[in-house]
Amino acid sequence: MKIFTCFALTFIAGCSSPYQFSNEINAFRTGVDNVSTAYITGYNNLANDRQTLQTVIFNDTSPKLKLAIGCNPAVQSALPCDFYRQGEPQPSPSDPALEASRPKTLEAIKALTDYAHALQAVTNAADRAAFDSAAARLNASVTALGKGAGPQGAAASAAFSTGFNIFAWVFGQALDQERFDTLKQDVNLAASPVQSIANGLGTELDAISQARQLVLYDTVNALIRPLGPGYKNYTAREATASQTKALLVQLEQAKPSQVTDALIKARRVAGRDK
């Protein structure tokens, strides 16, 4: 007997086979992976941008440099490993707000990624053993997902986790209406955590972009400042400044949080709540 049940990422609007949602779930998983890549790449690029600006300034001014205490493996320090001018204070974190939020952001990304991949594993399960394993992963990922969305999400995840235990049904058996209603109610609880986490990640991506734009602006100015008639390596330096300016313009015109907007859209398509 074919099993008809409503399986989606966050909402279930009607009865249909889980396998009919495979394309939507794949799109959601891809959206989550794109958000993760955008955050990690953007954060690393910001660090590289700052390093480039510092190198330009040091090359132009030729200061006496020292190695920060944060580079010493024998010393425990929260300060960054970097060069700094002799006589000046030890370097401090360049983006304290972004650095402070980074552990929580990475935790949220992991929870969302685990959830998306667990959904896909449940949908693609070919036999009972694979399904049981995937359902266990999904159950655990939902709990983490709710906790990553704050107090309300944590409360929702507890109820969600309990509800998801009904996945212990056997392939080939029909779900009765009571089980279906419970599944529908519990899966709906994931809507708020997913939305909350996605919105938070969008804010982080926009903040990283803004920080990069400020650094790139300073870098372009530092590169063109000494340019003038008779400047040695004028062509090469002007080319570097132009490339940096092009990247600045690209970031100014882009909206990094679009990847989280796409993620939310994919969730809605999969959940039929658009």
Q: What is the mean pLDDT of the chain?
A: 77
The residue among 149 and 47 whose pLDDT is bigger is 47
Q: Return the percentage of the chain with pLDDT > 70, whole number.
A: 69
Per-residue pLDDT, averaged over 223-232, amounts to: 96
Least confident of 15-29, 163-177, 191-205, 216-230: 163-177
Instruction: Show contacts of 207-214: CB within 8 Å, 24+ apart.
Output: 207/97, 207/98, 208/39, 208/42, 208/43, 208/46, 208/98, 208/256, 209/42, 209/251, 209/254, 209/256, 211/46, 211/95, 211/98, 212/42, 212/45, 212/46, 212/49, 212/251, 213/248, 213/251, 213/252
Q: What is the DSSP letter of 166?
A: G
Residue type, 174: A
Q: Answer whether residue 13 shows pLDDT above 90.
A: no
Q: How many CB atoms lie within 10 A of CB 107?
A: 14
Closest CA to 137 of 148, 145, 127: 145
Terminus-to-terminus CA distance in the chain, angstroms?
A: 31
Under the banding of pLDDT at 50, 70 and 90, the label for residue 10 is: very low
Chain segment 72-118, per-residue pLDDT in tens: 999 988 889 999 999 999 998 888 999 999 999 999 999 889 888 88
CA distance linking residue 159 with residue 176, whole number of Å = 20
pLDDT at 230 (0 to 100): 93
CA-wise closest residue to 117 among 6, 32, 201, 11: 32
Q: What is the mean pLDDT of residues 135-163?
A: 65
Q: What is the mean pLDDT of residues 134-163?
A: 65
At 122 the pLDDT is 72
**Does pLDDT of 153 surpass 70?**
no
Highest mean pLDDT among 71-80, 111-120, 168-177, 206-215: 206-215
Please tell me the distance from the alpha carbon of residue 58 to that of residue 83, in angstroms, as a whole number: 10
CB within 8 Å of 35: residues ≥ 6 apart: 109, 112, 198, 201, 205, 259, 260, 263
Q: Indicate if the pLDDT at residue 168 is higher than 50.
A: no
| pLDDT digits 0-9 by tens, 116-138 | 888 777 777 766 677 677 777 87
**How far is 196 from 115, CA to CA, in rounded Å?**
14
Return the biggest CA–CA distance within the chain.
Answer: 84
The more confidently predicted of residues 175 and 26 is 26
Rounded Cα–Cα distance for residues 164 and 8 (Å): 13
Grade residue 176 by pLDDT with cuts at 50, 70 and 90.
Answer: very low
Q: What is the mean pLDDT of residues 177-190?
A: 44
Please state the separation of Cα 196 from the chain's center in Å: 13
pLDDT, tens digit, for every residue of 35-58? 899 999 999 999 999 999 999 999
